[in-house]
Every structure is written in structure tokens, then in C-alpha cells.
Chain A
């Protein structure tokens, strides 16, 4: 039930996230060495414009990507349609974006 616009949004957001995902996994593998702590994480990210951009873009893209992906699943597997579908899809998009933006700000707050 994707039309061309939703399909393109989904694919383009995926392409944007590709380098971000690979980078994130690499960072996680590196950071997990010797255990994690708040101080260690924040030492890397606080005040960092680079990480703000990196994770800010990631959050923006994933909010769109996950919302469209879940929209299809709600439609195909749960039979949700019309207004209910729109409300849920937008709700997921905005919810993820707000929670994610908050997290990005929390770790990069300048």
C-alpha cells in the first residue's frame, strides 16, 4: 500500500541511514571495550557538534523510516485503515522524533 512518495521517503531515509548505521555499530563495538559508563559516553559526545549532527540526522531519518515501515505492517498484518492508520503512523513518527531529539540533546548538549 505504499505509493511512490512513501516508497521514495522510505528508500531515501534508508540510504541516509546506511553510513550512520555502520558508523554507529562501529562506535558501539569500540565503546563497549572495557565496559560502558555515563562519563565515558558523555566525555565523547558532550559539546560535540559532529555527534549532534550525526545522531540528529539519524533520529530524523529513523523517525520517518520506522513510521512508514510500521505503517505497512499495521495495514497488512493488523488490517488498520484510513484515519486510524494515519493517526498511528504520524503518532509513531512524531513520538520517535521527540524522544530521539531529547536523547540527542541529552548527550550532546552544548
Chain B
């Protein structure tokens, strides 16, 4: 990918959307595998869940929820722009999408600390 000299807001939204998608796609197999341990090795699952209580893991989880929220709300923004006949103030929407994502992961943060 050619890194451009310009980084205007909508381009940043695009990159964030793409990178969050990649991160989530890489995380999913791991997530599925851990959950399937409930079938094959429940003791191991409990071990991993206990391990997941560690603050660093909690931090990673918050990061993941942020990425998921960013990707989902960013996607909503995209589809609104594409399918609703607004000439919407795009940057406002993009910023709003990130804001909501922050809020959502913040809520998670408050629940787990």
C-alpha cells in the first residue's frame, strides 16, 4: 500500500475500518477455538477464562470491543452514505461513529475494572 502524504478525515475512517476488519478477522478463529473448548476440554476453558482476568487481557478485550464498535458503526456510516439519499456532512458522521465506538468500549471498560 502506498502511504499518502495526505491523511484527511474520511481517508482515516477508511483506514480505521479496514484495519479493524483485519484485526477482527484475525481474532475470530482464536475466539471460536477458545469457545469450542467448552465441548472438548471445559477445564482448559476455565483456565483460559481465569487467565483472561489479568489486566493486560482486559485491556486487550477493551481494544477488541473498540475495534468491533468502530467497524460496525463505521459500516453503518458507509451504508447510510451509500443507500440513503442524503448529502450528509460526512466528517461529522465519521466522527460520530468513532465517538459512539468509544462510548461503547468505555461502557465495557467500566464494567470490567
Cβ-defined contact, B69 with A25, below 8 A = yes
Whether, in the assembled complex, A105 has its beta carbon less than 8 Å from a beta carbon of chain B, the answer is yes
Whether, in the assembled complex, B12 has its beta carbon less than 8 Å from a beta carbon of chain A, the answer is no
Whether, in the assembled complex, B24 has its beta carbon less than 8 Å from a beta carbon of chain A, the answer is yes
Cβ-defined contact, B53 with A100, below 8 A = no
Mask, A18-35, CB within 8 Å of B = 1, is: 100110010011101101
Docked complex Cα distance between A92 and B35 (Å): 19
Closest to B82 in A: A11
Of the residues B28, B45, B53, B107, contact of A62 by C-beta under 8 Å: B28
Whether, in the assembled complex, B5 has its beta carbon less than 8 Å from a beta carbon of chain A, the answer is no
Cβ-defined contact, B39 with A70, below 8 A = no
Cβ-defined contact, B75 with A14, below 8 A = yes
Docked complex Cα distance between A92 and B26 (Å): 11
Interface residues of B, dominant DSSP? helix
Of the residues B21, B24, B79, contact of A11 by C-beta under 8 Å: B79
In the bound complex, residues from chain A placing their C-beta under 8 Å from that of B1 are 76-77
Whether, in the assembled complex, A42 has its beta carbon less than 8 Å from a beta carbon of chain B, the answer is yes
Whether, in the assembled complex, B32 has its beta carbon less than 8 Å from a beta carbon of chain A, the answer is yes
Cβ-defined contact, A102 with B108, below 8 A = no
CB distance from A70 to the nearest CB of B (A): 6
CB distance from B1 to the nearest CB of A (A): 5
Whether, in the assembled complex, B89 has its beta carbon less than 8 Å from a beta carbon of chain A, the answer is no
Of the residues B38, B68, B72, B111, contact of A107 by C-beta under 8 Å: B38
In the bound complex, residues from chain A placing their C-beta under 8 Å from that of B25 are 66, 69-70, 92
Docked complex Cα distance between A36 and B49 (Å): 6
Query: A residues near B, CB below 8 A?
Result: 11, 14-15, 17-18, 21-22, 25, 28-30, 32-33, 35-39, 41-42, 59, 62, 66, 69-70, 73, 76-77, 92, 95-96, 99-100, 102-103, 105-107, 109
Interface pairs (7), CB distance under 8 Å = A21-B68, A25-B68, A38-B38, A38-B46, A39-B46, A69-B21, A99-B29
